[in-house]
A and B are shown apart, each in its own frame.
Chain A
Amino acid sequence: MTASIQLQHTPQLQYLLRLGDTCLILGQRLGEWCGHGPVLEEDIALANMALDLIGQARALLTRAGQTEGRAFDEDQLAFLRDERDYRNPTLVELPRGDFAFTVQRNLVVATLLKLLWQKLATSTDAELAAIAGKAVKEARYHQQHAADWVVRLGDGTPESRQRSQAALAQLWRYVPELFEADAVDDAAAASGLGPRWADVQADWQAEVGAVLAEAGLTPPAASGFRSTGKRGVHSEHMGFILAEMQQLQRAYPGGVW
């Protein structure tokens, strides 16, 4: 069927979808680099990280489907939801930009996910804890890769430095959303499902701040802008990436290979 699935949103489901959709959408964005990387090695590196993220998304969406109660599987959740039912922060849906933007976003997200996985490894949800125990190892490599490049480009040529500073100006407005606590986070913290994302903010600032300082990059001043992807209200870019992701399943329902 091409009809969209409708979800019954519990805080538990939304918490899992935020994690799963962050991995899914960033994985899709990194996959866009396949065949377009600045050099072959980085093309392959980005594709490998996209694979890790898609693998994590598959496990998380499978788990989300189990908790939702109507046995939606990972594919239905990935391809048959309407835009409002995706709960990734807006940052990950922004267009891939240039390589400077890509590695900076990877640093921001990989650091966040690494810190979340560390705490989620002791989740009261045993399956989520198992997913986190594996994902944290992968996120460490993603973070290290991104940090290396952020420093290299920020502390590089005038051109790479200028592009790095421009990328930082573009993405920094979307960072506050990551750490905005709400009822979904409070419920997860209360039940032991997982931490509030805000709980890792101090560690995130320390780690990302150290990399930016080494790169000689200065974050822009805080802005009043707040993105709202985690609540399902996305940017204009989300419809396009979903159209590309969903086209096959919508045109050929249940298609497999």
Chain B
Amino acid sequence: MSGAPVADATRTQRAWDVLSTVLDPEVPALSLRDLGIVRDVVDDGNMLTVVLTPTYSGCPATEVIHQSVVDAITAAGLGSVNVTLQRAPAWTTDWISDDGRRKLRDYGIAPPGPVDPGAGVPIRLVGRRAAQAIACPRCNSSQTERLSAFGATACKSLYRCMACREPFEHFKPL
């Protein structure tokens, strides 16, 4: 009856700490916890279960993230680990931590504003410049223009700053 790890708060806490060091492969400025996709860590006394929620349905980084979690927990000597996916409630950019928003800005990505609760009901038929004033993450000017609704990944759009003339990405509210 001996030998099996016993559930304890330390192990769970250490797992959370480890997850603070696992970076999103697409936006490596953010850890999985900054991004708000770790929903729970459960210790049943034997196995740790890390519950993740996907950002976008088709995010190609999902499998890489799962493997990174397994690798990091294992490397930290926390025993066997299982990663499960929980779709509901759906992830929102409102779950990105304040620290995460600061890291995004430092990394050159304009962080998302709050999600509009009535989003999507009306289709906004407005010009690119009038769409939203997104502050440039470099010079903080609001004289910016959207170049494309989708950037290098579905979660970002592409902007340019008319003041400092630099292009930048914006993490879209979702």
Contacts and interface: CB of A to CB of B under 8 A. Distances in A.
A168 interface: no
A44 B150 CA distance: 7
**For A52, A59, A134, which residue has the most chain B Cβ atoms within 10 angstroms?**
A134
Interface in B44-80: 54, 56-60
A130 B90 contact: yes
A169 interface: no
Interface stretch (B4-12, B14-22, B99-107, B120-128): B120-128
B56 A44 contact: no
**For B57, B124, B153, B172, which residue has the most chain A Cβ atoms within 10 angstroms?**
B57
Contacts of B120: 114, 136-137, 139-140, 143-144
A181 B41 CA distance: 45
Given A130-B90, A136-B120, A144-B124, A52 B151 contact: no
B149 A144 contact: yes
B154 interface: yes
Interface stretch (A87-95, A189-197, A206-214, A217-225): A206-214
Contacts of A52: 56-58, 154
A151 B89 CA distance: 34
B58 A55 contact: yes
A240 interface: no
B116 to A, nearest CB: 10
Interface string B138-174: 0000000001111111100010000000000000101
A134 B87 contact: yes
A216 interface: no
B87 A44 contact: no
Interface in A115-151: 126-127, 129-131, 133-141, 143-145, 147-148, 151
B1 interface: no
Report the interface size class on chain B. 20 to 34
Query: Which secondary structure dominates chain A's binding surface?
Result: helix
A151 B124 CA distance: 11
Given A41-B158, A131-B87, A210-B123, A48 B57 contact: no
A45 interface: yes
A53 interface: yes
A145 B125 CA distance: 10
A134 B151 contact: no
A248 B87 CA distance: 30
**For A52, A114, A127, which residue has the most chain B Cβ atoms within 10 angstroms?**
A52
B39 to A, nearest CB: 13
B150 A41 contact: yes
Contacts of A61: none
A226 to B, nearest CB: 28
B159 to A, nearest CB: 11
A36 B128 CA distance: 24
Given A52-B57, A55-B56, A143-B123, A137 B90 contact: yes
Interface in B85-103: 87-92
Contacts of B59: 51, 55
Given A45-B149, A137-B119, 19 more contacts: A50-B58, A51-B59, A52-B57, A59-B57, A114-B120, A126-B88, A129-B88, A130-B87, A134-B54, A134-B87, A137-B92, A140-B119, A141-B172, A143-B120, A144-B120, A144-B123, A145-B150, A211-B123, A211-B125
13 contacts: A45-B149, A50-B58, A51-B58, A51-B59, A52-B56, A59-B87, A131-B87, A133-B87, A133-B89, A138-B154, A139-B120, A145-B150, A211-B123
Interface of A: 41-42, 44-45, 48-56, 58-59, 114, 126-127, 129-131, 133-141, 143-145, 147-148, 151, 207, 210-211, 214
